[in-house]
Amino acid sequence: MSRGFWIVLLVAVAAILLLFAAWYPYTGGGRQRYNMAVALEELPRVRAVLDADTRFNDVRAYVYTGQDGAVGLVGTVEKDEDLFRLMKAVAAERLPVAVSWQVKVAAGDEP
């Protein structure tokens, strides 16, 4: 094989790698990876909101892989009002990623 073949092959491989590196952030996997990194950075703020009110003791925050990477909240609160307050407090943080809500109101003695 000639020297010219190897040069063309090397240039072609380099071009493909550069193209992939430029395109990857716009793929689903690239967006998810980026958003999960952002969600990880935002967890201390969300956990501070949870720690600030004892009504949110049974709620946990984590990095969620769904929704192209998000902050996940899972757990229970006692009343609908507590869930509303939690949603309002998290919304006030204006997180740059989506929030996955898996917080439920505990079944009480109410009819």
Can you give the CATH number for the domain in which 41 is found? Answer: 3.30.1340.30
**By residue range, what is the domain housing residue 39?**
28-105
Residue-by-residue pLDDT tens, the chain, 111 positions: 788 899 999 999 999 999 888 887 778 888 999 999 999 999 999 999 999 999 999 999 999 999 999 999 999 999 999 999 999 999 999 999 999 999 999 976 555
C-alpha–C-alpha distance, residues 76 and 92, integer Å:
20
pLDDT for the residue 23: 84
SS (H, E, C) 8-59: HHHHHHHHHHHHHHHHHHHCHHHHHHHHHHHHHHHHHHHHHHHHCCHHHCCE
Locate 48 and state its tokens: 């501070």
User: How high is the pLDDT of residue 76?
Assistant: 97
2 located within any domain: no
